């Protein structure tokens, strides 16, 4: 590609850097003022601000920017850069200046002159092609050949990649992500197999790879194309929670996917490729099931680690009389009397290597956890000595909010599972099989939210001596990630299970807990929706639902409840009473614009100080995690920050986190959040629209999860029929997993068999919605 030629067909501005106005290193986003040398754009001035995803520009270097002129409402005309290139020095003099510049260590003017004398004006291209040409330059220091050509590659590399990828229709932002993964090898690898990018670069979709592949001649039944199709479908299935897919079904799906553009692939061809892939361990085929290796080995890991832990017997059991005595002390202190089920659960947990504790809301799971910890500490006095920190008790939960609640309820420090395992944002966990946790008793709450991958990481890090208590409510939604670990552990039957059924949180007239148990036990009917002290179902239709909901929230605020106490939940983003619409209207209602309030517009969202917001991704470096809810404290103007960038400051329960513009995609308004996102959290007041439009989403476990989030008051508005139909509809989308069978086999030598094959739910639905859409 001729790097130094301007492509006259596109709008361009050629210029030299005058000043970098802003640069975000992480996002490689730059704003710079340049002096215009040449342009074919209708722009008369001598200078212009260029803006886009490119690295800092170098002084005295000529660049060609391709993009669009646009009018900034404060700063006038600017240039939005789609792609850019650097002018390669063309004259011998400019080449010498470039090659002897500070960028190249150990090469002075003399050596640079010699390079140009020997290699001429195409010196750069020749060196990039083969660095050994430098060895032929008289007097060129041999020891700097490789570092010199490496610097040259790096310096020239990014722009070459930018230009080449632009020809494939890839913009600067995605190019940055691609370049971060493959560096100078980008073009080589893309032209070898663009499909590889689908699996390694976030935001690089299968269709994009397929288009590029076609342009470079990888088409039809090319093995790389079939391989990518297989892995793509398996990954998609895993987003719906499946750990494997049936071979026959997978062949069918892959054939359909690949034949959408050119019908040349048969099921036999796909199957044959799949067998090859399994021989190379890109996939695992077991009987008639196909797995992604990471998921297969996670299942294997969980079952073998569980066996390892459970195979080591307890040194000694606690004597019943001692337990009773210790529990008596706790009962006196807490002024409660443990029920029979609760006592049995505590005793079982204390005298087993592993137990599962399940139960609906208000059955005393937290109270039992407190009992287990209390007795364990009393009967292992060394645990009281925090300084020695021997035999520590470790508490964790999948989300920050659940961990916080666990801490508050038990008085013991609890943390997220990710933090417990020392996750710092990469694939690696500090604690693993070769560096295990120091713990004698490990209690994990909200275990229904743990997916197979995280379960594997957790179990690997548990020392064989430890006792485990897994606490969860099996009727809640399964994990967002693949697998259904709690359900599978329960059905494997190898871990002793304590089911709490007696309800304690039930004041006179309280309906929330009763309603939850009626749903759980399939006893919910019209009568169940009658008003209670803490529950109301207001009927409404059409657009009335939105205004009714606004009235309810407004009244709660007027009564003195804070925005933080009131949580609106909805199952879908797009609808007249969906999450997006509700956030918009509740923001107007609760935090309207006024001249004193600063605002920051990002995509479709306008953030104002005072807004309630939710964090959408895990950010261990900043100490905020997916699902954390906070409020915007203030918006700082660029000249008020050290970094000279506009920032949104958010307070998450006392922890202040700052977001620059390029990080704002991590946040959204949280006046209303999805039910999926509310898992693991509880709120004093839950308000929820239930309308016929949501019907496709309304399932028993979803509604059960939603209503069990409310602690003091639950208000539903909408259509009672839609609600009653929803709570009597089981989620048909049974997940394909083999964990239960694998565990049974591990413990008793039973062969592994897949779950009963379930007929697929409507394809169209699957295409549109996955649990990830709700996160």
User: Which residues sit in the known binding site?
Assistant: 362-366
The CA-atom distances, in angstroms, between 386 and each of 383, 421, 461 are 7, 20, 22
When binding is defined by CB under 6 A, the residue of 367, 391, 457, 674 that contacts ligand ATP is 367
Q: Per rule CB under 6 A, is residue 336 in the interface with ligand ATP?
A: yes
Q: Per rule CB under 6 A, is residue 399 in the interface with ligand ATP?
A: no
Task: Please return the burial class of 440, using the count of CB atoms within 10 Å of its CB with bins 0-12, 13-18 and 19+.
Answer: middle
> Of 6-14, 138-146, 337-345, 623-631, which segment contacts ligand ATP by CB under 6 A?
337-345
Cβ 535 to ligand ATP, closest distance in Å?
15
Cβ 336 to ligand ATP, closest distance in Å?
4
Residue the block writes with tokens 């002129």: 69
* Beta bridge mates, 14: 38, 64
Q: Per rule CB under 6 A, is residue 535 in the interface with ligand ATP?
A: no
On whether the CB atoms of residues 309 and 316 are closer than 8 A, the answer is no
- Which CB sits closer to ligand ATP, 338 or 607? 338
* Residue 639 half-sphere exposure toward CB, CA atoms < 13 A: 0
Q: Per rule CB under 6 A, is residue 171 in the interface with ligand ATP?
A: no
Cβ 337 to ligand ATP, closest distance in Å?
6
- Which CB sits closer to ligand ATP, 223 or 339? 339
On whether the CB atoms of residues 516 and 360 are closer than 8 A, the answer is yes
Q: Per rule CB under 6 A, is residue 361 in the interface with ligand ATP?
A: yes
Q: What is the largest CA-CA distance in the chain?
A: 96
Cα–chain-centroid distance for residue 46? 45
> Whole-angstrom Cα distance, residue 77 to residue 19?
17
> Of 297-305, 363-371, 454-462, 583-591, which segment contacts ligand ATP by CB under 6 A?
363-371
Cβ 700 to ligand ATP, closest distance in Å?
18
When binding is defined by CB under 6 A, the residue of 63, 79, 296, 338 that contacts ligand ATP is 338
On whether the CB atoms of residues 183 and 155 are closer than 8 A, the answer is no
> Whole-angstrom Cα distance, residue 704 to residue 507?
20
- Which CB sits closer to ligand ATP, 313 or 508? 508
Angle formed at CA 393 by CA 389 and CA 398, multiple of 5 degrees: 130
> Of 17-25, 320-328, 330-338, 421-429, which segment contacts ligand ATP by CB under 6 A?
330-338
Cβ 359 to ligand ATP, closest distance in Å?
5
Residue the block writes with tokens 């409310």: 710
- Which CB sits closer to ligand ATP, 365 or 520? 365
> Of 182-190, 333-341, 692-700, 760-768, which segment contacts ligand ATP by CB under 6 A?
333-341
When binding is defined by CB under 6 A, the residue of 359, 483, 689, 726 that contacts ligand ATP is 359
Question: Is the Cα dihedral 397, 398, 404, 406 positive or negative?
Answer: negative
The CA-atom distances, in angstroms, between 100 and each of 120, 533, 701 are 15, 81, 68
- Which CB sits closer to ligand ATP, 367 or 383? 367
Report 48-67 residues binding ligand ATP (CB under 6 A): none
When binding is defined by CB under 6 A, the residue of 160, 365, 709, 744 that contacts ligand ATP is 365
On whether the CB atoms of residues 65 and 88 are closer than 8 A, the answer is no
> Whole-angstrom Cα distance, residue 304 to residue 317?
24
- Which CB sits closer to ligand ATP, 191 or 331? 331
- Which CB sits closer to ligand ATP, 289 or 370? 370
Length of the chain: 775
- Which CB sits closer to ligand ATP, 37 or 336? 336
> Of 48-56, 251-259, 357-365, 627-635, which segment contacts ligand ATP by CB under 6 A?
357-365
- Which CB sits closer to ligand ATP, 221 or 518? 518
The annotation places the binding site for ATP at 362-366
> Of 70-78, 334-342, 548-556, 568-576, which segment contacts ligand ATP by CB under 6 A?
334-342
What is the helix (H) or strand (E) element at residue 331, kind and residue range?
A: helix 320-334
Cβ 660 to ligand ATP, closest distance in Å?
38
When binding is defined by CB under 6 A, the residue of 363, 410, 567, 666 that contacts ligand ATP is 363
Cβ 731 to ligand ATP, closest distance in Å?
21
When binding is defined by CB under 6 A, the residue of 89, 364, 374, 398 that contacts ligand ATP is 364
Angle formed at CA 357 by CA 355 and CA 358, multiple of 5 degrees: 145
> Whole-angstrom Cα distance, residue 103 to residue 150?
11
> Of 14-22, 361-369, 600-608, 747-755, which segment contacts ligand ATP by CB under 6 A?
361-369
When binding is defined by CB under 6 A, the residue of 362, 398, 483, 718 that contacts ligand ATP is 362
> Of 130-138, 148-156, 344-352, 364-372, which segment contacts ligand ATP by CB under 6 A?
364-372
Cβ 396 to ligand ATP, closest distance in Å?
16
* Rama region for 211: left / alpha / beta (φ>0; ψ in -120 to 50; rest): alpha
Please count the helices (runs of H) and the strands (runs of E) in the chain: 27, 26
When binding is defined by CB under 6 A, the residue of 77, 126, 348, 366 that contacts ligand ATP is 366
Q: Provide the 3-class DSSP secondary structure of residue 506.
A: coil
Angle formed at CA 137 by CA 133 and CA 141, multiple of 5 degrees: 100
- Which CB sits closer to ligand ATP, 152 or 372? 372
Q: Per rule CB under 6 A, is residue 301 in the interface with ligand ATP?
A: no
On whether the CB atoms of residues 502 and 363 are closer than 8 A, the answer is yes
Strands 566-570 and 672-674: parallel
CB atoms within 10 A of CB 4: 14
Report 480-509 residues binding ligand ATP (CB under 6 A): 504-505
The contacts of residue 110 (CB under 8 Å, 6+ apart) are 139
- Which CB sits closer to ligand ATP, 337 or 732? 337
The CA-atom distances, in angstroms, between 212 and each of 78, 192, 298, 411 are 31, 11, 33, 57
Cβ 512 to ligand ATP, closest distance in Å?
9
Cβ 331 to ligand ATP, closest distance in Å?
8
**Percent helix, percent strand, percent coil in the chain, to nearest 5:** 45, 20, 35
Q: Per rule CB under 6 A, is residue 343 in the interface with ligand ATP?
A: no
Q: Per rule CB under 6 A, is residue 472 in the interface with ligand ATP?
A: no
Size of the site for ligand ATP (CB under 6 A): 15
* Beta bridge mates, 624: 619
> Whole-angstrom Cα distance, residue 26 to residue 3?
27
Residue the block writes with tokens 């513009």: 661
Question: Is the Cα dihedral 465, 471, 474, 479 positive or negative?
Answer: negative
Cβ 517 to ligand ATP, closest distance in Å?
11
Cβ 332 to ligand ATP, closest distance in Å?
13
> Of 24-32, 200-208, 281-289, 362-370, which segment contacts ligand ATP by CB under 6 A?
362-370
> Of 93-101, 111-119, 356-364, 410-418, which segment contacts ligand ATP by CB under 6 A?
356-364
When binding is defined by CB under 6 A, the residue of 39, 238, 342, 626 that contacts ligand ATP is 342
CB atoms within 10 A of CB 24: 16
Q: Nearest CA to 723 among 752, 709, 702, 744?
A: 702
**Where along the sequence are the contacts to ligand ATP (CB under 6 A)?**
336-339, 342, 359, 361-367, 504-505
């Amino acid at each position: 590609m001729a790097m130094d030629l301007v492509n006259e067909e596109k709008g361009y501005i050629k210029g030299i850097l005058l000043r970098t106005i802003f640069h975000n290193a992480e996002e490689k986003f730059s704003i710079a003022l340049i002096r215009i040398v040449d342009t074919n754009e209708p722009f008369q001035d001598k200078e212009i601000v260029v803006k886009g995803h490119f690295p800092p520009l170098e002084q005295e270097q000529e660049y060609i920017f391709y993009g669009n002129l646009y009018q900034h409402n404060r700063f006038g005309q600017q240039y939005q850069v789609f792609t850019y290139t650097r002018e390669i020095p063309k004259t011998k003099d400019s080449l010498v200046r470039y090659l002897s510049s500070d960028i190249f260590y150990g090469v002075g003017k003399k050596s640079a002159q010699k390079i140009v004398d020997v290699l001429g004006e195409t010196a750069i291209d020749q060196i990039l092609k083969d660095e050994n040409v430098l060895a032929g330059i008289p007097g060129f220091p041999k020891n700097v050949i490789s570092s010199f050509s490496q610097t040259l590659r790096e310096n020239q590399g990014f722009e070459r990649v930018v230009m080449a990828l632009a020809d494939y229709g890839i913009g600067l932002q995605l190019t940055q992500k691609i370049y971060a993964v493959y560096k100078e090898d980008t073009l080589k690898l893309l032209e070898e197999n663009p499909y590889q990018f689908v699996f390694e670069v976030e935001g690089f979709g299968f269709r994009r790879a397929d288009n590029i592949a076609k342009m470079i001649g990888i088409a039809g039944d090319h093995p790389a194309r079939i391989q990518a199709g297989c892995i793509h479908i398996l990954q998609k299935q895993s987003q719906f929670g499946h750990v494997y897919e049936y071979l026959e079904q997978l062949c069918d799906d892959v054939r359909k996917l690949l034949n959408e553009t050119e019908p040349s692939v048969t099921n036999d061809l796909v199957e044959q490729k799949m067998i090859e892939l399994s021989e190379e361990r890109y996939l695992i085929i077991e009987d008639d099931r196909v797995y992604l290796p990471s998921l297969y080995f996670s299942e294997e890991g969980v079952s073998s680690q569980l066996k390892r832990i459970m195979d080591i017997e307890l040194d000694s059991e606690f004597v019943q009389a001692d337990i009773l005595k210790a529990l008596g002390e706790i009962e006196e202190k807490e002024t409660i009397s443990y029920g029979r089920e609760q006592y049995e659960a505590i005793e079982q947990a204390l005298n087993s290597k592993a137990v599962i504790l399940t139960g609906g809301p208000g059955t005393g799971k937290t109270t039992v956890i407190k009992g287990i910890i209390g007795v364990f500490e009393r009967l292992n006095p060394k645990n009281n000595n925090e300084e020695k920190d021997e035999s520590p008790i470790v508490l964790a939960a999948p989300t920050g909010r659940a961990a916080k609640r666990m801490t508050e309820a038990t008085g013991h420090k609890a943390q997220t599972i990710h933090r417990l395992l020392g996750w710092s944002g990469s694939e690696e966990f500090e604690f693993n099989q070769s560096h295990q946790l120091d713990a004698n008793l490990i209690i994990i709450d909200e275990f229904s939210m743990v997916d197979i991958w995280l379960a594997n990481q957790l179990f690997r890090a548990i020392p064989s001596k430890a006792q485990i208590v897994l606490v969860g409510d099996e009727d809640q939604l399964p994990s967002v990630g693949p697998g259904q670990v709690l359900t599978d552990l329960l059905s494997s039957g190898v871990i002793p299970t304590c089911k709490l059924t007696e309800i304690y949180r039930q004041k006179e007239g309280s309906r929330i807990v009763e309603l939850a148990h009626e749903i759980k036990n399939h006893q919910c009917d019209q009568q169940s929706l009658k008003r209670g002290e803490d529950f109301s179902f207001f009927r409404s239709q059409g657009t009335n639902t939105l205004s009714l909901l606004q009235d309810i929230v407004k009244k709660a605020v007027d009564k003195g409840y804070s925005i933080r106490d009131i949580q609106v939940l909805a199952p879908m983003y797009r609808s007249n009473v969906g999450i997006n619409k509700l956030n918009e209207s509740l923001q107007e209602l609760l935090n309207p614009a006024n001249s004193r309030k600063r605002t920051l517009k990002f995509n479709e969202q306008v953030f104002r100080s005072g807004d309630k917001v939710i964090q959408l991704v895990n950010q261990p470096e900043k100490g905020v995690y997916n699902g954390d809810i906070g409020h915007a404290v203030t918006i700082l103007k660029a000249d008020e920050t050290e970094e000279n960038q506009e920032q949104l400051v958010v307070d998450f329960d006392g922890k202040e986190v700052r977001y620059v513009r390029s990080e704002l995609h991590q946040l959204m308004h949280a006046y209303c959040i999805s039910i999926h996102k509310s898992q693991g959290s509880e709120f004093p007041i839950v308000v929820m629209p239930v309308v016929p439009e949501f019907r496709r989403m309304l399932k028993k476990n979803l509604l059960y999860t939603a209503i069990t989030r409310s602690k003091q008051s639950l208000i539903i508005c909408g259509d009672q029929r839609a609600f009653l139909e929803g709570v009597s509809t089981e989620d048909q989308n049974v997940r394909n997993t083999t964990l239960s069978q694998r565990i049974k086999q591990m413990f008793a030598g039973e062969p592994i068999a897949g779950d009963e094959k379930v007929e697929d739910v409507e394809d169209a639905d699957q295409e549109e919605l996955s649990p990830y859409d709700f996160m």
